[in-house]
Amino acid sequence: MNLIIDIDIISGPFVIAVYAIALAAAVLLVVVRPSRRWSRRRWLLTALIAAVVGALVGLGATWLLNDQLDLFGAPLSIVARTWIALGFAGFGLAIASFWRATWKRVIASILALLLFAGTTAMSINIDFGQYPTVRSALGISTFSDSGLPPVVPTDEPSRPTIATWTPPADMPTAGKVTSVTIPATQSGFPARPGVVYLPPAAQVANPPELPVLIMLSGQPGSPEDPLVSSKLQQSLDEYAAAHQGLAPIVVSPDQLGDPAANPMCIDSVLGQSATYLTVDVPNWITGNLNVLAGPHFWGIGGLSQGGTCSIQLAAGNPQLFGAILDASGEETPRVGDVQTTADAAFGGDVSKYEAAYPANIMKAHAPYTDMFAVFGVGANDSYYIDGVKNIYADAQAAGMTATYIEAPGSAHDTTTWSYVFKQGLGLISDHWGLNR
């Protein structure tokens, strides 16, 4: 079973095989007539018209649903739009094959239609990079609950600090990730299990207290996405390998409750997400992990919707957080246009919704005296880049020590988030004095 669910669906032999089979199916649909009642010339003309009409329908649906109605909340690249056009061209070809066809051809056309749908979805995922394996696409966690090391008392006299740290001979060479349940004691928020990354230095018998970075997925998403899809685990291991096993402890809780939900990291009828992230999660971290006291050594970050949450929560809670890592976050939390969002979570009061804009939160709490922020976005992300630049400028104006990063040649995808997380992790970790 694991062999199947761990198949790589963004590169490798499986992807090549799917493309080869889809191409062969398309060629056969064109070359082989649905039945003898079709003349070759008539079928070829019909197939061409059906493919062109299908492609136009696909592009039109993309324009309506994504560009006009914004149902997906994220832009689609030229690559994704091309694959949608090709997929719908295949749909048109398969549907045209039903007409005046033999029963065998009807069955073959149905199978081809399903194949084209799967190939299109796979291709869009390859461009976006959200689900690297079948496991991740099905929402099955990569990590098990392997347990956490005991909490060492803060006043333990033999305990090393970051400044006095010397790696013991038996220190692991890589970080460890474990699944954890973080109770929603105060919030009652229906959170899914989260994950925790422990760098090598956190796994020894007498570890130093370390900074903690709370990382949030996008929406839809799962808690492990920052570590897996966006390769933060790899970046953490690389940083730790270069710095005597030192790196932040990373906690990735669930801020959504469900992949399809977006409670916007606020407290509302959509769920007490803000209380979960600012009360329940910090309380659990303090009681279960060997971390330094905040706010200076506590950070929060995320990608896309999670990036939006990171600036909202850090800006509104400087008593908790002293660092931000925002990758492709939106300028405002939203579940639609202004009135739709106000109706969904703010009782229809637009002024209350506007007060939850990160820019307005920063104005209300300025000046910040100890907030280190990193904002990043894809250089080709025309949908989000202006908003990220605006938030970066607002952060600077509010007194934050802020850095802006552009991922070259990428847009709203995991290539961007991997790049921003790697660069931002280095900056924040150095800020915390882990660069020994």
Read off the pLDDT of residues 127-175 as tens digits, 9 standing for 90 and up: 877 788 888 887 777 888 888 988 888 777 788 999 999 999 999 999 9
Number of structural domains the chain divides into = 2
Asked if 289 and 189 sit in the same domain, the reply is yes
Give a yes or no: residue 137 inside a domain: no
Asked if 115 and 172 sit in the same domain, the reply is no
Residue 1, pLDDT > 60, answer no
Distance CA 372, CA 308 (A): 16
Asked if 286 and 338 sit in the same domain, the reply is yes
Say how many C-beta atoms besides its own lie within 10 A of residue 403's C-beta: 18
The pLDDT-based confidence of 73 (bands split at 50, 70, 90) is: low
**Token reading at 161:** 């600090």
Asked if 157 and 197 sit in the same domain, the reply is yes
* Cβ atoms of 330 and 377 closer than 8 Å: no
Read off the pLDDT of residues 243-266 as tens digits, 9 standing for 90 and up: 999 999 999 999 999 988 999 999
Read off the pLDDT of residues 12-58 as tens digits, 9 standing for 90 and up: 899 999 999 999 999 999 999 998 889 999 999 999 999 999 999 99
Which residue range is the domain that position 43 belongs to? 2-128
Domain end marker among 128, 163, 181? 128
CATH code at position 409: 3.40.50.1820
- pTM of the predicted model as reported, rounded to 2 decimal places: 0.88
